[in-house]
Amino acid sequence: MTNVVGNAALERFDALVIGSGAGGSVVACMLAEHGLKVLVLECGANRFDGLDDPVNLPVARFSSDELKLLSRGFLEWESLVDPRTFRTSEADGDRIHVGGVNSLPKTVGGGGVHADLKMPRFQPSDFRLASLLGDVAGASFADWPVDYDMLEPFYLHCERLLGVQGRAGADPFEGPRSAPLPMPPGVPMYVSRLIGDAAEALGYHPFPYPTAVNSQPYDGRPACVDCGFCSGYGCPSHAKGSPAVTALRRALVSGNCQLRSETRVVRLVGNPSGSEITGVEAIGPAGERLSFRADRYVLCASPIEDARIMLLSDPELGNRSGMVGRNLTFHFQTNAIGIYEERTHGHRGRTVTHGFSDFRGVPGDPDRPLGGIVEISGSEGPIFEASIYRQAMSQLRSFDGPRFKRLMRQSPFRDRIVALAMQAEDAPQVTNRVDLDPAIKDLDGLPVARITYRNHPLELAAREHYAPKLLELVRASGARWGGVLPIDEIPASAHVMGTLRFGSDPATSVCDPGGRFHDIGNLWVGDGALFPTSSGFNPTMTLVALAARVAAGMVFPGAPERGLR
């Protein structure tokens, strides 16, 4: 099967988009539907047969198969041949780890394929944290150059584009909306009712989680059947509004877009002064070296890979501020679990149907530090559960078949569990960064991305404040046992932001308020690399809204709202 879909006859392009994930798909859609000829280059494989079919939904190569998706890594980044390296600071030496470091799937559609697509908006205050917090020692907080009101119409546009279920106003802390969500909430999980009743008794405000999963037929795609295979899985029916089958498909069907999968961009070529990009160099499906040209270029390869591409191209390219790769943020997750006597059926339904924002906190209030939204969820599948018991028994040197079978039947870590995950604010730091490892190379012989990252006292203090409250909630819901999981030694939130932050000052930011590089006239960024701060909410809805605004501004400079139809 060819790796080219869409309008294969296109040879000249107005815009070249690097990456087909959530940001790249939305950028391509906005540009193509306004008549620009768009080339999308994606390093991963295309798992959607017929993605450019204008009549029928594509046939996805996904299934509810735990071995295929989670154990055999059907969608995952292959860290054996394309690793990342990690250290907490320069004092660690060149690295302390080689392997996966907060990697996202390498595939057409990117992380939006395997994600469960929780889509809350940021709060209005999240865009002004530098002003609200003042100077925070060791942190590099910055106000966003756009505010909630400027993004609100793009939030609405993307909620309709992807198809988001939920109930407007259910979260008392959310910002104002100009219209309700496209679909009502779907069926709640039993684990959400268990925790939700206890949360309300404690004065919290659980609400249906905004999620890009159809609760009813929408935009030609069916309703979700709550099969339970959502987070970590591609959706075989397309009830999940993956950007690949919504925004990217619309771009391809327009006739103005060409997608080339298994085509990895490894270098941007600049003119002698570095003020314009004149082309990109890539590696094709058979390892052949390729080059492509366009009038404009948009980086959407994910924040870590965006920075890596810039540094592989030329460490000085677009880097007058010295900020390329810096201010990397993840979400600092605090995870609590409860195990119950009764069966909770947490492996059924969507991954998360409810959450609450009471632990987001208030900037500058020591009694309510900046934590984040709390997701109420269940468990993984039986193969993952079995691996936990096998590992624990092996460590205790007490494995035996009958005991293992009893644990699987009783199922304490799958069918009797509730998990609470707080997506807490991760303070930006100039020292948290991406650069190129001086010695480790990937299968193509290119330096890999090195992550230097250490938690700031701000998020560590928030964990200390809210972890007991999570345990209190688990206890109040009737759990027999409970606990807070240890901090990840290697970050694994799958929420990656920063590295090419935007702002008005070229001395402290990489891109301008429209997402274009300060120093490069025809290079934009259309993903979470622009984020100056991480907020305490899942980033995808803000990422796609910002990507839509960046792309609309490329078509209508100075008036991106004109791009909304």
The residue to which tokens 């632990």 are assigned: 359
User: By the 8 A CB rule, do 141 and 533 touch?
Assistant: yes
The residue to which tokens 């928030």 are assigned: 462
In terms of C-beta density within 10 A (0-12 exposed, 13-18 middle, 19 or more buried), how is residue 513 classed? middle
User: By the 8 A CB rule, do 201 and 158 touch?
Assistant: no
Quote the pLDDT of residue 73: 80
- The helix (H) or strand (E) run that includes residue 376 is strand 372-377
Instruction: State how far the Cα of 134 lies from the Cα of 411, in Å rounded to an integer.
Output: 48
Quote the pLDDT of residue 219: 96
User: By the 8 A CB rule, do 60 and 47 touch?
Assistant: yes
Report helix, strand or coil for 258: strand
Torsion (CA) 219, 222, 223, 227 in degrees, nearest 10: -140
Quote the pLDDT of residue 379: 83
The residue to which tokens 């934590």 are assigned: 371
Mean pLDDT within 92-107: 95
Nearest to 6 by CA among 30, 450, 41, 26: 41
Question: Chain-wide mean pLDDT for the chain?
Answer: 95
Positive or negative CA dihedral for 540, 152, 158, 553?
A: negative
Indicate the residue type of 162: L
Nearest to 189 by CA among 13, 15, 348: 348
pLDDT value at 397 more than 80: no
pLDDT band at 389 (very low <50, low <70, confident <90, very high): confident
Quote the pLDDT of residue 454: 97
Mean pLDDT within 64-74: 84
User: What is the per-residue pLDDT across 284-305, written as a single tens digit (0 to 9) for each?
Assistant: 999 999 999 999 999 999 999 9
According to DSSP, the residues that pair with 517 across neighbouring strands are 511
User: By the 8 A CB rule, do 446 and 267 touch?
Assistant: no
Report phi then psi at 205, rounded to 5.
-130, 75
User: What is the per-residue pLDDT across 344-355, written as a single tens digit (0 to 9) for each?
Assistant: 988 888 999 999
Instruction: State how far the Cα of 484 lies from the Cα of 486, in Å rounded to an integer.
Output: 7
Quote the pLDDT of residue 398: 75
Question: Which of these ranges, 71-80, 264-273, 319-328, has the smallest mean pLDDT?
Answer: 71-80
User: What is the per-residue pLDDT across 494-542, written as a single tens digit (0 to 9) for each?
Assistant: 999 999 999 999 999 999 999 999 999 999 999 999 999 999 999 999 9
Mean pLDDT within 381-389: 87
User: What is the per-residue pLDDT across 195-217, written as a single tens digit (0 to 9) for each?
Assistant: 999 999 999 999 999 999 999 99
- The helix (H) or strand (E) run that includes residue 278 is strand 277-283
Nearest to 305 by CA among 154, 447, 470, 208: 447
Question: Which of these ranges, 352-361, 399-408, 539-548, has the smallest mean pLDDT?
Answer: 399-408
Token pair for residue 92?
A: 């660690």
User: What is the per-residue pLDDT across 432-444, written as a single tens digit (0 to 9) for each?
Assistant: 999 999 999 999 9
pLDDT value at 266 more than 70: yes
Quote the pLDDT of residue 380: 81
pLDDT band at 401 (very low <50, low <70, confident <90, very high): confident
**pTM for this predicted structure:** 0.96
pLDDT value at 1 more than 80: no
Residue 90 neighbours by CB under 8 Å, 6+ apart: 452
Count Cβ atoms below 10 Å from residue 397 Cβ, excluding itself. Answer: 6
Mean pLDDT within 424-431: 97
The percent of residues above 90 in pLDDT, for the chain, comes to 87
Instruction: State how far the Cα of 296 lies from the Cα of 56, in Å rounded to an integer.
Output: 32
Cite the DSSP H helix spans in 361-494: 382-396, 401-410, 457-476
CB half-sphere exposure, 25, CA atoms < 13 A: 28
Torsion (CA) 510, 516, 519, 521 in degrees, nearest 10: 170
Domains of the chain in start order, with CATH, are 4-170+192-379+415-488+497-563 (3.50.50.60), 382-410 (no CATH)
pLDDT value at 468 more than 70: yes
